[in-house]
A and B are shown apart, each in its own frame.
Chain A
Amino acid sequence: MSADALAAEIGPLPDPAGHFGRFGGRFVPEALVAALDELDAAHRTAMADEAFRAEFAALLRDYAGTPSLLYAAERFSARVGARVLLKREDLNHTGAHKVRNVLGQALLTRRMGKRRVIAETGAGQHGVATATAAALFDLDCVVYMGQVDTERQALNVARMRMLGATVVPVANGSRTLKDAMNEAMRDWVANVDDTHYLIGTAAGPHPFPALVRDFVRGIGDEARQQCLDLTGALPDAVTACVGGGSNALGIFHAFVGDPDVRLYGFEAGGDGVETGRHAASITGGSAGVLHGTRTYVLQDDDGQTCESHSISAGLDYPGVGPEHAWLHDSGRATYLPVTDDEAMAAFELLCRTEGIIPAIESAHALAGTLQVAPRLAAELGREPTIVVNLSGRGDKDVHTAGDYFGILDKEQ
Chain B
Amino acid sequence: MEKILKKSDLGKWVGKLSAFDCYAPTKENDHWEFNQVTYLDSLPEDYTQVNVPLKKVVLPNREVLFNFEDNRNGGPHIQEVLPEEKEVVVFGVRGCDARGVALLSKIFSESSPDIYFERRKNQLYVVGLSCYPLPGDNCFCLSVGGGPFSTQGMDILLSDIGRKYFVEVLTPKGEKLVELGWEFFAEPNDQDRQDRLRREKKAQEMFNLEIHEAEKKAGVLHHLFEDKIWKTESFRCLKCGICTYLCPTCHCFDIADELASPVPLQGKRVRVWDTCQFPDFTMHSSGHNPRPDKSSRLRQRIMHKFLYFVETYGEIMCTGCGRCVSKCPVGIDIVNILNRVESHEG
Do chains A and B stick together as partners? no
A-side residues, CB < 8 A to B, are none
